[in-house]
Amino acid sequence: ETGVTQTPRHLVMGMTNKKSLKCEQHLGHNAMYWYKQSAKKPLELMFVYSLEERVENNSVPSRFSPECPNSSHLFLHLHTLQPEDSALYLCASSQDNWVSGSSYNEQFFGPGTRLTVL
Amino acid sequence: RKEVEQDPGPFNVPEGATVAFNCTYSNSASQSFFWYRQDCRKEPKLLMSVYSSGNEDGRFTAQLNRASQYISLLIRDSKLSDSATYLCAVNLGTGGGNKLTFGTGTQLKVEL
């Protein structure tokens, strides 16, 4: 496997279900991200992990719970979602070289999980 | 004002035409800039980073205008395969982490 992979590619779930999205990066990067992309809206950054520490939680509802067990893997645990959470969920990674607390390197995306909440 | 703004298009151009897109950003402290290409129902793919001095990759040229706070993407001799949505992304450079803010994208349709 190369690049960034995500599973499952498609997911349909009811509002009472619990499911998890998985992301794996094979690029040796040290930072990983979750984004949400809804129709006609820009990509929304949800979570940022750098060196396995969460550095950003962009006011995301608690029904979304991220987990980063190591620098290659990222999970998004889902529970009691709403129909408006239906979207494409994209994972990305980057190799960040921190300068003055910020980093500017390119991010590479996985193919995404298309989620439908019924 | 939106943090990152793009004209959604669509831009319908004939094959071989030159087309340019702009992307404006609101935060003058923004530090890095990127153009991504996204095909229908696929993930964004990095097209180019945008450097202060401007950069060119084949038919594609990206430029940064810090004074007016916009970046541009120029596509020369457009091909049918260039049809896609072009997203600009801006790193605001605040706090920790490489946090990109994306525009809604500009749709390009190249026609015969």
B100/A contact by beta carbon, under 8 A: yes
Q: Tell me the per-residue pLDDT of A9-29, one tens digit each, with 9 for 90 and over.
A: 999 999 888 999 999 999 999
**Strand locations in chain A, DSSP E?**
4-7, 10-13, 18-25, 31-37, 44-50, 53-57, 64-70, 73-79, 87-94, 108-109, 113-117
Query: Chain A residues with CB inside 8 Å of B91's CB?
Result: 102, 104
> Given this model, what pLDDT does residue B97 score?
60
Q: Is it the case that residue A36 has pLDDT exceeding 60?
A: yes
Q: What are phi and psi of A107, to 5 degrees?
A: -105, 145
Interchain contact, B102 vs A42, CB within 8 Å: yes
Q: Is it the case that residue B28 has pLDDT exceeding 90?
A: no
Interchain contact, B31 vs A102, CB within 8 Å: yes
Confidence of residue B77 (pLDDT cuts 50, 70, 90): very high
Nearest chain A residue to B91, by CA: A104
